[in-house]
A and B are shown apart, each in its own frame.
Chain A
Amino acid sequence: EPEVTQTPSHQVTQMGQEVILRCVPISNHLYFYWYRQILGQKVEFLVSFYNNEISEKSEIFDDQFSVERPDGSNFTLKIRSTKLEDSAMYFCASSEARNRQETQYFGPGTRLLVL
């Protein structure tokens, strides 16, 4: 069964450094998403992406964040200058369509620790 994959599974970085989290969505999916979960808190929506553009973003997704689909398979989340509060589990997801009934399929997550 096709799966969303994410690399790395864990990343440790120093405050102020740039990090890039990578995701490979399911191959025939057109819509891509990033979510994050700070330890002990809810999973929160960050951004959705379609046709090489951001479709929607939450208040969390400020200028420090960017997303890109650099080639036909990868979907990346970049944090330009990490802060301590960026420490979280980051989940990538993808879906075939955008309607509210559509299932979003999630990857296993990347655990980011900012020191």
Chain B
Amino acid sequence: AQSVTQLDSHVSVSEGTPVLLRCNYSSSYSPSLFWYVQHPNKGLQLLLKYTSAATLVKGINGFEAEFKKSETSFHLTKPSAHMSDAAEYFCVVRSGGGADGLTFGKGTHLIIQP
């Protein structure tokens, strides 16, 4: 069984300041982990993924995430927020046990203050 917990339902930061979106997971097998972003009226777009290679993963638009097995975490960060980063962010796990379906966190709504 697998699960994902996104610790914050809303995060508000000022433009130009760092972003931290927190995610903890549990999985019975070695998982793959993903961050997806959803802008209003758009599909879920992949930001980055961890698949058991490097633990620090770089994604699009300056985002990165670090896989920490000891902490079962996969937090998403960005050094400097931009207004266009305002969106809903989903942390997602896929178990190595052969299941097809992705398991989603509840999402974090990122608000960027001018």
Q: Roughly how many angstroms separate A100 CA and B49 CA in the complex, as a whole number?
A: 11
Contact partner of B31 (CB less than 8 A), chosen from A56, A58, A100, is A100
Interface positions, chain A 41-83, Cβ under 8 Å from B, are: 41-45, 48, 55-56, 58
Measured as residues with beta carbon below 8 angstroms from the partner, the interface class of chain A is: 20 to 34
Q: With an 8 A cutoff between CB atoms, is B34 at the interface?
A: yes
Closest-by-CB residue of A relative to B90 is A43
Q: Roughly how many angstroms separate A3 CA and B45 CA in the complex, as a whole number?
A: 10
Interface positions, chain B 32-87, Cβ under 8 Å from A, are: 32, 34, 36, 41-46, 49, 51-52
For the residues of B in contact with A, the DSSP-based class is: loop
Q: Roughly how many angstroms separate A48 CA and B98 CA in the complex, as a whole number?
A: 12
Q: Is the CB of B106 within 8 A of A42?
A: yes
Report 15 cross-chain contacts, Cβ distance below 8 Å, ordered by A residue: A33-B100, A35-B101, A42-B104, A42-B105, A42-B107, A43-B44, A44-B104, A45-B102, A48-B101, A55-B100, A56-B100, A56-B101, A100-B31, A100-B96, A103-B49
**A interface, CB within 8 angstroms of B:** 3-4, 9, 31, 33, 35, 41-45, 48, 55-56, 58, 91, 93, 98, 100-101, 103-109
Residues of A within 8 A of B1 (CB): none
Q: Is the CB of B36 within 8 A of A106?
A: yes
Measured as residues with beta carbon below 8 angstroms from the partner, the interface class of chain B is: 20 to 34
Q: With an 8 A cutoff between CB atoms, is B24 at the interface?
A: no
Q: With an 8 A cutoff between CB atoms, is B108 at the interface?
A: no
Q: Is the CB of B101 within 8 A of A58?
A: yes
Task: Tell whether A100 pairs with B32 under 8 Å between CB atoms, given A56-B100, A91-B44, A106-B43.
Answer: yes
Q: Is the CB of B43 within 8 A of A108?
A: yes
Q: Roughly how many angstroms separate A3 CA and B95 CA in the complex, as a whole number?
A: 25
Q: Roughly how many angstroms separate A4 CA and B44 CA in the complex, as a whole number?
A: 10
Residues of A within 8 A of B43 (CB): 3-4, 91, 105-109
Q: Roughly how many angstroms separate A10 CA and B43 CA in the complex, as a whole number?
A: 14
Most buried by A among B32, B34, B43, B90: B43
Q: Is the CB of A101 within 8 A of B51?
A: yes
Contact partner of B34 (CB less than 8 A), chosen from A9, A103, A107, is A103
